[in-house]
């Protein structure tokens, strides 16, 4: 995207006042978005995001600047202005830039940028029709398709020159069911680091029916009873609790500041021995997968927790420096307007040996949380609060009546100890994760798990 | 590519590719910001962003596209992309473009002195602000925030109907938030300065004000629930005006989300209430000689002596009501479509000071801060229930601080219940402003 000489001259200018590390990140992103309401197009947007971010390290201090005027003249001016905030003599010279070999973890069959929007709209209309056809109580649908094609270059003063193209696509469907006095909704949002082929790999009509089923089921559900009880959390998006309440605490962003309950616990038992948690940025076509992170470090499979023992954090360059540890290929950012920091990629609990039937069958009275909704976590304590969008009571080892308005309350570190059954049906689901370096695509995931006791909130 | 050349080429290509009309909106912002904590730079931002948003009519439909890069190839990308977006949308949502009576012009509102300030001078000012805040009151222990920022902004719009306008402006913003402690009690106080005249900026005074505000709230207690006569400080009333501004938008009325529907030229507020939207206020935090559609902006009276004089319109909503746009068609950013927005939107000041308003109130409540407006205010019904802070008013004077209360009411009723508007006009950084106002009665939930 930029000539090598422009990058070299910018990094050299940035090192003038004694920075010990300088990095240039350049991005060109094309995005297309279509949104339908009740099967008619409501929004059709598209555009090109383009810009460069320059990051300098002076010891443990970071300075970040960004621009979307990437002429050599402007980049050098920006580098000089940014360096000038520190007064010092030049300490390090730019090392020769070497192009890195790029693996292909995300093969793309049909580049979505080349596919006509009208074609994408056909799938959305079909999904909307399928949701309406599922049940007469479906009163509204929203369907959408988003595709992003991002070209990234990372070059730094240590000689790294790494480039890749990242493509991702996502389909979303929301169905609303209405009765005389109530409205309930259900949604699905499958996606990946894939092209337009996503819409052929998944069955959009089946996804729409799943969303409609949740909405209709919850319409007739009774309020959830409150109290402490065993909770079975289903596979897929159920992993959002681990992501929010534990995953963020394993990011170096929190650990380096000692703002995590997991700080200083490497090698210690922090969870039930049934728990193995992995963050893997190399899963082929995974929503959070890439060949390299946003510092140019190759992504990898990081085992975070193995049989209950804390094995690794997610580490970026600057926090690694503060902690005295190596980066783990986990530095990510939304775009050039953000400095990168340690983030999750595709994070999931590894499968165990129990079948879903065994887990439900072994539960006398409890809650089956089939589909999780949003929630919030206090990062300092790991205390979480999540809504359950679709839930059922378990009675005598059987899934019984649906219940609505359930919330799950607990603390991440404590809940990890209470996982007493882990299923064999691992599944991942897609989400957008917001944190200090912006909003990025991440997969959450888990097999069905059982938490022996959890506080369930409800009005019943 | 230079922006004007880019705009001209873009419009030329779009017309050649079958667009019947089109518009090229350009925006550039250069931002510098330094945050100081404990006498050291703790954070720093230096950025330059520019881009073009395209909008045009193809086959009777409006299509949008944007780019942050301005090379030759990006022109054809915009045209192709907008065309593809347009054909998917219904004709009923078509947006008309502005046909100017005069060609336009360029508004140059740059203070050259601001452009010559060095980074070091800005850092020093931020450090003086922090030092003054730390010394401003005994109980101040640290800063939550101490930031100095400068902005240089250019907006330039051309369209195929002959429009060619631009405006450049620069600005300094200083913001400090001090933390005061007494025992276990913690209070924050924030103050900001925004303007173009660097010489009139006194960092020490800004810091000191934040410190005193934080300290003044220490020792706060609750108060009994009930209905009280109230004085709302200017910053509180300005927050209400900001959140409820959409009820004055033609767009909102047309969608059926404003209770002001059909009330033009009717009395909707107390006699002492006059509300203006003045985009041309030279000293205003916002300055807009034209809106995001290129329509000339003008100073207008929204409420005059309690009577609703006009709604606020963009081209599309104005067309629906069969009247000209009021020049309130603004877009939030390159990626967003044109909506409606206010500029310097403020209650006109009255004659008497805040102290005189308190003396008139006698006993009641002075509210200095409200939080939770986005969740706790319903812009459709006008109802609000908000967490508040302030001071008891006794014998016509401000007495002890009050916390942990909520005030509940209705925005439309609030407008009718204003008894007097003070002379102390305050503007929030977003351009919304108000003096202190005395209100007949509000419902307070406390102990």
Closest CA to A23 of A62, A74, A81: A62
Mean pLDDT of all residues in A117-130:
96
Residue A378 above 80 pLDDT? no
Residue A459 above 80 pLDDT? no
Closest CA to B210 of B284, B122, B139, B283: B139
User: Contact A41/B90, CB-based, under 8 Å?
Assistant: yes
Mean per-residue pLDDT of chain A: 94
Q: Which residues in chain A are contacts of B115 at CB distance < 8 A?
A: none
Give pTM, 2 decimals. Answer: 0.88
Distance from CA of A123 to the nearest CA of B (A): 14
Please report how the helices B72-88 and A117-134 are oriented relative to each other, as an axis angle in degrees rounded to 10: 30
Q: What is the DSSP pairing of strand A160-178 with strand A138-156?
A: antiparallel
Distance from CA of B212 to the nearest CA of A (A): 30
Residue B391 above 80 pLDDT? yes
The whole domain housing A267 covers 227-457
Residue B371 above 90 pLDDT? no
Q: Which burial class, exposed, middle or buried, applies to B355 when counting CB atoms under 10 A from its CB (0-12, 13-18, 19+)?
A: middle
pLDDT interval class at A383 (50, 70, 90):
confident
Closest CA to A298 of A268, A271, A278, A326: A326
Mention every residue, 6+ apart, whose C-beta is less than 8 A from residue B79. Answer: B10, B13, B14, B17, B19, B54, B65
Mean pLDDT of all residues in B3-14:
98
Residue B61 above 80 pLDDT? yes
Mean pLDDT of all residues in B397-402:
96
Q: Are B163 and B104 in contact (CB under 8 A)?
A: yes
pLDDT interval class at A363 (50, 70, 90):
very high
Q: Is A95 left (phi over 0), alpha (psi -120 to 50) or beta?
A: beta
Residue B68 above 80 pLDDT? yes
Closest CA to A81 of B31, B218, B75: B31
Q: Which residue of A has its CA nearest to B89?
A: A41
Mean pLDDT of all residues in A446-460:
91
Mention every residue, 6+ apart, whose C-beta is less than 8 A from residue A288. Answer: A193, A281, A344, A345, A346, A347, A440, A441, A442, A443
Closest CA to B302 of B335, B368, B352, B258: B258
Mean pLDDT of all residues in A14-29:
97
Question: pLDDT above 70 covers what percent of chain B?
Answer: 100
Q: Is residue A307 part of a domain?
A: yes
Higher pLDDT, A458 or B333: B333
Mean per-residue pLDDT of chain B: 94
Q: Which tokens go with A170? A: 């996502």
Mean pLDDT of all residues in B58-62:
94
Interface test with A, best of B44, B65, B89, B123 (most A CBs within 10 A): B44
- Encode pLDDT of A167-212 as tens digits: 999 999 999 999 987 888 999 999 999 999 999 999 999 999 999 9
Distance from CA of B268 to the nearest CA of A (A): 34
User: Contact B87/A28, CB-based, under 8 Å?
Assistant: no
ipTM value: 0.85
pLDDT of residue A328: 98
- Encode pLDDT of A87-96 as tens digits: 899 999 999 9
- Encode pLDDT of B124-133 as tens digits: 999 999 999 9
Q: Is residue A107 part of a domain?
A: no
Nearest-by-Cβ selection for B68 from A48, A74, A121: A48
CA A222, A225, A231 angle in degrees (round to 5)?
Answer: 110
Nearest-by-Cβ selection for A63 from B44, B48, B63: B44
pLDDT of residue B256: 86
Residue A82 above 80 pLDDT? yes
pLDDT interval class at B58 (50, 70, 90):
very high
Mean pLDDT is lowest, of A168-177, B42-51, B341-350, B351-360, for B42-51
Closest CA to B230 of B384, B350, B361, B409: B361
- The SS3 of residue A370 is strand
User: Contact A48/B69, CB-based, under 8 Å?
Assistant: yes
d(CA B418, CA B273): 7
d(CA B273, CA A25): 53
Q: Is residue A341 part of a domain?
A: yes
Q: Which tokens go with B258? A: 């404003």
CATH of B3-215, one of 3.30.420.40, 3.40.50.620, 3.30.2290.10, 3.10.105.10: 3.30.2290.10
pLDDT of residue A217: 95
Edge-to-edge strand order for the sheet containing A277-280? A309-310, A301-306, A277-280, A346-349, A438-446, A427-435
Q: Which tokens go with B393? A: 């008013």
Mean pLDDT of all residues in A397-403:
96
pLDDT of residue B115: 93
Mean pLDDT is lowest, of A122-131, A312-321, A429-438, for A429-438
Calculate the alpha carbon distances from A334 to A285, A304, A371, A443, B5 in Å. Answer: 19, 23, 27, 15, 31
pLDDT of residue A1: 86
Strand pairing partners for A390? A371
Q: Which residues in chain A are contacts of B91 at CB distance < 8 A?
A: none
pLDDT interval class at A21 (50, 70, 90):
very high
pLDDT interval class at A381 (50, 70, 90):
confident
Question: pLDDT above 90 covers what percent of chain A?
Answer: 84
Q: Provide the sign of the torsion angle of the four alpha carbons A414, A417, A421, A423, taken in this order.
A: positive
Q: Is residue A175 part of a domain?
A: no
Question: What is the number of structural domains in chain A?
Answer: 1
- Encode pLDDT of A125-161 as tens digits: 999 999 999 999 999 999 999 999 999 999 999 999 9
User: Contact B89/A74, CB-based, under 8 Å?
Assistant: no
Q: Are A394 and A360 in contact (CB under 8 A)?
A: yes
Mean pLDDT of all residues in B2-30:
97
Q: Is residue A11 part of a domain?
A: no
Please report how the helices A117-134 and A204-219 are oriented relative to each other, as an axis angle in degrees rounded to 10: 40
Q: Provide the sign of the torsion angle of the four alpha carbons A214, A220, A223, A225, taken in this order.
A: negative
Q: Which residue of B has its CA nearest to A118?
A: B88
Q: Which residues in chain A are contacts of B49 at CB distance < 8 A?
A: 51, 66-68, 337
A383 in B contact zone (CB under 8 Å): no
A46 in B contact zone (CB under 8 Å): yes
pLDDT of residue A379: 67
CB atoms within 10 A of CB B108: 10
Residue B441 above 90 pLDDT? yes
Interface test with B, best of A45, A318, A338 (most B CBs within 10 A): A45
Q: Which residues in chain B are contacts of A47 at CB distance < 8 A?
A: 65-68, 81, 334-335
Mean pLDDT is lowest, of A269-273, A311-315, B408-412, for B408-412
Q: Which residue of A has its CA nearest to B42?
A: A61
Residues on chain B bordering chain A, Cβ-to-Cβ distance under 8 angstroms: 34, 41, 44-51, 63-69, 74, 77, 81, 84-90, 119, 123, 334-335
Closest CA to A127 of A139, A112, A143, A138: A143
Mean pLDDT of all residues in B333-357:
96
pLDDT of residue B447: 79
Closest CA to B179 of B221, B125, B222, B137: B137
pLDDT interval class at B319 (50, 70, 90):
very high
pLDDT interval class at B184 (50, 70, 90):
confident
- Encode pLDDT of B240-269 as tens digits: 999 999 999 999 999 888 999 999 999 999
pLDDT of residue B323: 96
Q: Where are the domains of chain B?
A: 3-215, 221-241+349-445
């Amino acid at each position: 995207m930029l000539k090598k000489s422009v990058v070299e001259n910018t990094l050299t200018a940035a090192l003038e006042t004694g920075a010990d590390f300088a990095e240039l990140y350049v991005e060109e992103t094309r995005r297309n978005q279509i949104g339908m309401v009740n099967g008619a197009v409501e929004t059709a947007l598209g555009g090109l995001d383009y810009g460069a971010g320059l990051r300098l390290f002076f010891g443990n201090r970071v300075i970040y600047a960004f621009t979307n005027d990437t002429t050599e003249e402007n980049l050098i001016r920006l580098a000089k202005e940014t360096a000038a905030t520190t007064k010092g003599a030049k300490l390090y010279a730019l090392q020769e830039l070497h192009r890195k070999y790029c693996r292909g973890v995300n093969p793309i069959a049909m580049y979505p940028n080349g596919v006509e929007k009208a074609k994408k709209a056909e799938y959305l209309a079909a999904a909307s029709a399928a949701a309406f056809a599922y049940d007469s109580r479906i009163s509204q649908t929203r369907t959408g398709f988003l595709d992003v094609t991002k070209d990234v270059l990372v070059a730094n003063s240590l000689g790294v020159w790494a480039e890749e193209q990242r493509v991702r696509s996502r389909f979303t469907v929301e169905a609303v069911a209405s009765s005389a006095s109530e409205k309930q909704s259900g949604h699905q949002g499958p996606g990946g680091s894939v092209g337009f082929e996503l819409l052929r790999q998944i069955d959009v009509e089946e996804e729409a029916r799943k969303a409609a089923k949740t909405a209709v089921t919850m319409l007739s559900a009774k309020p959830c009873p409150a109290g402490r009880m065993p909770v079975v959390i289903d596979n897929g998006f159920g992993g959002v609790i681990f992501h929010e309440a534990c995953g963020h605490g394993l990011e170096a962003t929190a650990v380096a500041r000692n703002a995590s309950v997991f700080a200083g616990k490497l090698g210690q038992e922090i969870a039930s021995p049934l728990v193995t948690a992995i963050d893997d940025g190399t899963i082929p076509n995974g929503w959070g997968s890439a060949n390299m992170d946003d510092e140019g470090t190759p992504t990898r499979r990081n085992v975070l927790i193995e049989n209950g023992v804390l094995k690794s954090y997610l580490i970026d360059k600057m926090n690694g420096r503060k902690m005295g540890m190596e980066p783990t290929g986990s530095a990510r950012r939304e775009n050039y307007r953000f400095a990168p920091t340690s983030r999750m990629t595709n994070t999931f609990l590894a499968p165990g040996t129990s079948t879903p039937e065994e887990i439900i069958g072994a539960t006398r009275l409890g809650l089956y949380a089939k589909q999780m909704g949003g929630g919030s976590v206090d990062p300092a304590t790991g205390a979480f609060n999540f809504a359950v969008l679709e839930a059922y009571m378990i009675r005598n080892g059987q899934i019984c009546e649906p219940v609505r308005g359930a919330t799950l309350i607990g603390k991440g570190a404590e809940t990890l100890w209470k996982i007493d059954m882990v299923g064999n049906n691992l599944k991942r689901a897609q989400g957008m994760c917001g944190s200090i370096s912006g909003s990025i695509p991440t997969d959450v995931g888990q097999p069905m798990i059982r938490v022996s006791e959890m506080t369930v909130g409800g009005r019943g | 590519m230079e922006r004007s050349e880019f705009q001209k080429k873009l419009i030329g290509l779009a017309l050649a590719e079958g667009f019947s009309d089109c518009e090229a909106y350009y925006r550039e912002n250069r931002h510098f910001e330094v945050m100081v904590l404990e006498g050291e730079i703790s954070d720093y931002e230096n950025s330059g962003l520019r881009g073009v948003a395209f909008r045009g009519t193809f086959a009777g439909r409006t299509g949008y596209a944007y780019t942050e890069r301005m090379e030759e190839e990006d022109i054809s990308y915009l045209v192709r992309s907008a065309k593809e977006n347009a054909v998917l949308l219904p004709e009923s949502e078509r947006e008309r473009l502005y046909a100017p009576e005069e060609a336009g012009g360029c508004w140059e509102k740059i203070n050259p002195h601001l452009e010559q300030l060095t980074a070091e001078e800005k850092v020093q000012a931020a450090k003086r602000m922090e030092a003054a805040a730390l010394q401003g009151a005994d109980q101040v222990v640290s800063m939550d925030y101490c930031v100095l920022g400068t902005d240089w902004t250019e907006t330039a719009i051309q369209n195929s109907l002959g429009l060619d306008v631009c405006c450049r402006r620069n600005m300094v913003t200083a913001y400090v938030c001090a933390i005061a402690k007494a025992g276990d009690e913690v209070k924050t106080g924030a103050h900001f300065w925004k303007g173009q005249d660097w010489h009139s900026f006194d960092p020490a005074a800004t810091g000191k004000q934040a410190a005193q505000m934080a300290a003044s709230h220490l020792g706060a207690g609750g108060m009994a629930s009930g209905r009280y006569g109230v004085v709302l400080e200017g910053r509180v009333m300005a927050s209400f005006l900001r959140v409820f501004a959409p009820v004055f938008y033609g767009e909102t009325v047309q969608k059926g989300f404003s209770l002001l529907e059909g009330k033009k030229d009717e009395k909707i507020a107390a006699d002492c209430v006059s509300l203006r939207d003045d985009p041309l206020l030279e000293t205003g935090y916002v300055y807009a000689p034209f809106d995001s559609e290129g329509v000339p902006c003008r100073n207008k009276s929204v409420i005059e002596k309690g009577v609703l004089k006009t709604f606020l319109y963009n081209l599309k909503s104005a067309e629906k009501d069969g009247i000209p746009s009021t020049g309130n068609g603004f877009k939030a950013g390159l990626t967003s479509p044109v909506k409606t927005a206010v500029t310097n939107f403020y209650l006109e000041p009255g004659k008497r000071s805040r102290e005189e308003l308190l003396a008139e109130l006698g006993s009641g409540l002075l509210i200095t801060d409200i939080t939770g407006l986005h969740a706790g205010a319903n812009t459709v019904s006008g109802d609000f229930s908000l967490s508040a802070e302030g001071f008891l008013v006794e014998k016509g004077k401000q007495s002890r601080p009050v916390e942990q209360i909520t005030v509940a009411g209705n925005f439309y009723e609030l407008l009718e219940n204003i008894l007097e508007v003070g002379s102390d006009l305050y503007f929030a950084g977003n351009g919304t402003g108000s003096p202190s106002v005395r209100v007949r009665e509000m419902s307070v939930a406390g102990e």
